Amino acid sequence: MSKDATLIDLGFAEARVPLGTHACQIYDNTGERDDALLRFLSRGLRNGETAACFSENISEHALEAWFSKEGLSLADERASGRFALAKTRAVYFEEGRFDPDRMLALLRKFHDDSVAAGRPGARVIGEMSPEIARIPGGSRLFEYESRVNCLLRDHPVTAVCQYDAHAFDGATIMDILSVHPMMVVRGAVILNPFYIPPEEFIPG
């Protein structure tokens, strides 16, 4: 996949963005969250992309209903390996700790498997749990997010990170914005003016 040449539809925003976009969505209510998530996934699958969802809060029933409405079959997509669904804790806090390196390796593999499958792209959406503040390794969240930006340059997975505005304090939210090049504001995806490139965010 070539990040530079390909624009994709995120499903929940009008504008198309480059393949491998890394955006954050600070959502105010669960409806806003679920709407973006469902549209993001179904759009990717209809594009033929590989899609993955890491969330504690979305139910398979809601996914199945949405997919069905979109002409997709959750079972088929999963069976074919085009779609993966997992809980946030299971993915991010395997063995009870947050390991940025492991997560980056997962992301890299996710991209490579999609390419190997001949798919035009790969996308992932995940909701971070505020529990990360108490998880060993949780303080490396922003490091991880910043290093994702580096990874995505060569492994362009389109990633959307969802954060609950009610679960994280304002300062943390600003820090979250600092490590995401794009941000979702009132349903639109815009360049994040608070973004600090990883070379600046993670010195050395």
Binding site for other proteins (CB under 8 A): 26, 28, 165-166, 169-175, 177, 185-186, 193-194
- Which residue lies nearer to other proteins by CB, 134 or 186? 186
Q: What b/e readout covers 12-29, taking b as 16+ CB neighbours within 10 angstroms?
A: bbeeebbbbbbbbbbbee
Nearer to other proteins, 28 or 113 (CB): 28
Nearer to other proteins, 101 or 194 (CB): 194
Rounded-to-integer distance, Cα 99 and Cα 47, Å = 31
Strand order, beta sheet including 22-27: 83-86, 50-54, 122-127, 158-164, 22-27, 182-185, 188-191
In the complex with other proteins, which residue's Cβ is closer, 41 or 182?
Answer: 182
d(CA 88, CA 148) in angstroms, rounded, equals: 17
Tell me how far, at minimum, the Cβ of 192 lies from other proteins, in Å.
Answer: 8
107/176 with CB nearer other proteins:
176
Rounded to the nearest whole angstrom, what is the least distance from the CB of residue 98 to other proteins in the complex?
A: 22
DSSP 183: E
CB of 164 vs other proteins, minimal distance in Å:
9
Minimum CB separation of residue 23 from other proteins in Å reads 14
Least Cβ distance, residue 170 to other proteins (angstroms): 3
Centre a 10 Å sphere on the Cβ of residue 71 and count the other Cβ atoms it contains.
Answer: 9
Q: Report d(CA 153, CA 70) in Å as an integer.
A: 31
Kindly tell me which of 28 and 56 has the beta carbon lying closer to other proteins: 28
45 alpha carbon, distance to own chain's centre: 15
Closest separation between CB of residue 173 and other proteins, Å? Answer: 5
Q: How far apart are CA 99 and CA 90, in angstroms?
A: 12
